[in-house]
Structure 1
Amino acid sequence: MELLQLHYFLAVARSEHVTEAARKLHVTQSSLSKTIQRLEEDLGVLLFDRIGRKLQLNEFGRTFLRRAERALFELEQGKQELSDLSSPDHGALELGVTSASVLPDILRKYRIKRPNIQFHVQMLTTQEMVTLLERGEVDYCLSSPPVERDEIECQIVFIDPILVAVPLGHRLADRSSVSLSELKDEWFVGLKVGYGTRDLMDPVCRSVGFVPHYVYEGDEPARLVNLVEAEIGIAFIPSTARNDRAQIKYLQVETHEVVRKIALLWHKSRYISPAAQDFREIVVEYFEGLSKEAQRYNENPC
């Protein structure tokens, strides 16, 4: 069995389509098909059921996939550890987020401490984030909601109140708080299903007797502030994403304690480099500072 066979097997298993997998691997379809066939011959079983042009993992394939992912995961961790030993001041950090509102401040602090470390950030749905975490393809994820999995470490770093954002000309703009039931006839702008705040607030609204009417559903949280300001609709906005420079009024929710928990996640078996450890320390310190600021505000709201 060859390492190349495992890489090709994973690509086909994840896409379940030879053409797509070959394109991602930058190889020909015939070469990919022959490699998979040799792997099946080596193992003595078929790993896929052929359905037209698609390949679907069968019972043997699903069993082997778990082992193959674990083997390649360990090899990748060894490669990363050797890289850190040979070049401790260089490297890369892979990050996933379900909300990017606090990320600029965190990355700014991190770049000051680790100027030679490259980082790559992906905006993900909760399910996409879980998939990458379980595969060990990211160092850390900042997630709301938290994720509970056997192989994933979950550290709650902040309790973030959800606010109601309305434009300054709105009927509620002279208020400091509002009950959810008062919003039942409003038009909303929000994120798509699968993102934390949307998945948190929809059930809460249903519990008081209405389903929010969304006139806009997107995957860019920062855009919601512009849409509210343009009077397209109102929005549920986490306190960490509020923009006090915008022509928007933020209202507290009276009748329900609606908060999102922000968690830092990482794979329990993934190698944590010194650079990655520094990132975790910066995240924890950043949110500790936010918590102290929120506490001071609550004690002295004026």
Structure 2
Amino acid sequence: MAHEQRSEGYLSPSSDTEDMVLSLVPRLAHFAGVARTEHVTRAAAGMRVPQSTLSRALVRLEHDLGVELFARRGRTVSLTPAGRTFLGSVERALAEIGRAVEEVRADADPATGKVAFGFLHTMGAETVPGLLQAFRADHPRIRFALVQNYGEAMLERLRAGELDLCLTSPVPDAPDLVARRLDEQKLRLVVPADHRLAGRRRIRLAEAAEETFVTLEPGYGLRRITDAVCEEAGFRPRVAFEGEEAETLRGLVAAGLGVALLPPPVFPRPGVVELTVTAPRAVREIGLAWLDGHPDTPPVAAFKRFLLARRGNLLARPAPLPPAQ
């Protein structure tokens, strides 16, 4: 019982302080206004509030704190030492709130706002730069915070409010998310240049059942797709190496350490041959996801419309830039 009483005595000051902070917040600007002018009437006029309202707010503030913040002489006031200490912290808090207001307004500005956009590593070299180039032709001042990661990690950041939109694969199916399929990529079986299958152009995946595979780590969307396609072909892949990035896997294949199911490369990779898989159907779907019920700022809404309008053409290679003059 004694332990429980000590626990209650320990917890209650924290709870009391939190309650006090919630009650003080609306009156902090009133306090700062009077402290700066040292005159209740002038402060009330500057803040466009009735003088009686302002006076009551100050009395209530001092009562809640249990400290006199002002020495009063008629309508003129001066800060006590406690009031001066309190003012320093209040002004820093109000300034921080002001900066926060400016930041969120700037991020929501239709012309110059910000989009937090996540995408798969394999889309970072060419696809996403091309999309951003096309979008900024009509929205040249919108800013982007770009995040490259694997699918599950991006969905976690969506749920945490750190991302507005993300391009991911597989297309998620979750009650708290909205997802739209935008495009798909055919996966190829990548083999070393001196491999027994390197002279082929097409292959049934079952023909690679005895091969050693290099894959992404468990939890990556492409790993789940690889496992599912191999299972459909009638085997479980024998995995020798697991990585975090598709081009690293291509390097492992080039070194003769295995074969891999991968999306097309941005640039041809020496030392490997990429075979079209004829059966089973080996593709990964690319989808756009966002948090259900989460309101869009104007720049996010504009970018979302842009991406959805490119459904079926998302992964098309962008037109080359004109040569420099």
TM-score bin, normalised by smaller chain: 0.5 to 0.7
Structure 1 residues 137 and 291, CA, compared in 2 at 3 Å: closer, same or farther? closer
> Secondary structure at 1:257's aligned position in 2?
coil
- State the identity as a percent: 29
Which of 93, 116, 123 in structure 2 is aligned with 1:94? 116
Structure 1 segment 1-302 matched on structure 2, within 5 A = 37-38=14-15, 82-83=105-106, 87-101=109-123, 102-239=127-264, 241=265, 243-244=267-268, 246-286=270-310, 288-289=312-313
Where structure 1 has 5 or more consecutive residues not aligned to the other structure, the ranges are 1-32, 43-77, 294-302
Q: How many residues align?
A: 226
Aligned partner of 2:186: which letter? P
**TM-score normalised by length of structure 2:** 0.58
Aligned partner of 2:282: which letter? V
Larger CA deviation: 193-202 vs 132-141: 132-141
> Secondary structure at 2:313's aligned position in 1?
helix
Aligned partner of 1:105: which letter? G
Larger Rg: 2
Structure 1 residues 183 and 39, CA, compared in 2 at 3 Å: closer, same or farther? farther
Deviation at 1:164, TM superposition (A): 0.8
**TM-score normalised by length of structure 1:** 0.62
Structure 1 residues 105 and 229, CA, compared in 2 at 3 Å: closer, same or farther? farther
CA–CA distance in structure 2, aligned partners of residues 245 and 285 of structure 1: 32
CA–CA distance in structure 2, aligned partners of residues 104 and 275 of structure 1: 18
Deviation at 1:182, TM superposition (A): 1.5
CA–CA distance in structure 1, aligned partners of residues 110 and 120 of structure 2: 29
| 1:107-152 C-alpha deviation (Å, 9 max, x unpaired) | 3334544443332233334332332222332110111011122231
The answer to whether the 8 Å contact 1:98/1:123 transfers is yes
Deviation at 1:258, TM superposition (A): 1.8
Larger CA deviation: 249-258 vs 189-198: 249-258
The answer to whether the 8 Å contact 1:134/1:267 transfers is yes
CA RMSD, Structure 1 to Structure 2 (Å): 3.5
Deviation at 1:160, TM superposition (A): 1.9
CA–CA distance in structure 2, aligned partners of residues 39 and 285 of structure 1: 53
Aligned partner of 1:253: which letter? V
The answer to whether the 8 Å contact 1:98/1:142 transfers is yes
| 1:236-282 C-alpha deviation (Å, 9 max, x unpaired) | 1124x453354432212222012211100111322323322332344
Where structure 2 has 5 or more consecutive residues not aligned to the other structure, the ranges are 1-9, 20-100, 318-325
| 1:195-221 C-alpha deviation (Å, 9 max, x unpaired) | 111111113323444322333211122
| 1:78-131 C-alpha deviation (Å, 9 max, x unpaired) | 98773356x443232212224432323223334544443332233334332332
Aligned partner of 1:277: which letter? A
> Secondary structure at 1:174's aligned position in 2?
coil
CA–CA distance in structure 2, aligned partners of residues 216 and 265 of structure 1: 30
The answer to whether the 8 Å contact 1:132/1:138 transfers is yes
> Secondary structure at 1:182's aligned position in 2?
helix
